[in-house]
Amino acid sequence: MGNILRQFRNQSAFGAILTILFGLVLLIAPSTVLSLVLGVLGWILLIMGIAGIISFFVNRSVYASYGQLISGIAELLIGLWVVRSPGGVVSLVGTLVGILMLVHAVMDLQYVYDAYRAGAANWWTAAVSGGLTLVLALLVLFRPFGSVLSVLSLAGICLIVDGVCDLIMLHRLGDLFR
């Protein structure tokens, strides 16, 4: 039993160290990580698109449908766009998220106004929440790429804290593994 627990401790410590290292990479170089992930995704889409187009023409008389051709072309074009302009992809996604947040903030502020008019006692707490959502929405809308990088950096900090906490826990439970 002691051998199994020691093996668990070693694997957990290794996992914690990897978590800390990945967190450091996200914290130090979030744009590099983002570019790498988007590059891989873009190439996968490119390959899938080419395979779909080839499959359409190879299997044209048997199983192929025009949906397969259209899907292959779409994957190819999106893959090209992601590979050639990863910043544009991030900005588009960030802008869409910012628009959704803005709509939600406006709805929240409408709720605040209705609550205020109805004489609700704690309407101001909803006003703070709605105002914060509005500020964050505008931040994401006007700085979508920076927002994504900030989220990646925050994720890096969280991973570092998680890994350190795991190491502390393993150290504190050291008697259990002896």
pLDDT digit string (tens) for 69-103?
Answer: 899 999 999 999 999 988 888 888 888 888 999 99
Cβ–Cβ under 8 Å, residues 98 and 140: yes
pTM of the model: 0.64
Centroid of chain to Cα 62? 40
Q: Return the DSSP state at 63.
A: T
The pLDDT of residue 64 is 62
Mean pLDDT of 111-129: 88
Give the Cα separation of 131 and 140 in Å (integer). 14
Considering the chain, what percentage of its residues have pLDDT values greater than 90? Answer: 41
46 against 3, higher pLDDT: 46
Q: What is the pLDDT of residue 103?
A: 92
Q: How many residues does the chain have?
A: 178
CA atoms within 13 A on the CB side of 69: 9
Domain extent at residue 26: 2-177
- Closest by CA position to 78, among listed 99, 56, 48: 48
123-171 residue pLDDT tens:
888 899 989 999 988 988 888 778 888 888 999 999 999 999 989 888 8
User: By the 8 A CB rule, do 58 and 88 touch?
Assistant: no
Q: Looking at residue 139, what is its pLDDT?
A: 87
> Which letter, b or e, does each residue of 23-61 get, where b requires 16 or more Cβ atoms within 10 Å of its Cβ?
beebbebbbebbeeebeebbeebbebbeebbeebeeeee
Q: If you average pLDDT over residues 17-22, what whole number do you get?
A: 94
Domains contained in the chain, number? 1
Band (pLDDT 50/70/90 cuts) for residue 22 is very high
* Assigned token pair, 12: 């957990």
Question: Other C-beta atoms within 10 Å of 123: how many?
Answer: 16
User: How buried is 175 (Cβ within 10 angstroms: 0-12 exposed, 13-18 middle, 19+ buried)?
Assistant: exposed
Q: What is the mean pLDDT of residues 102-125?
A: 89
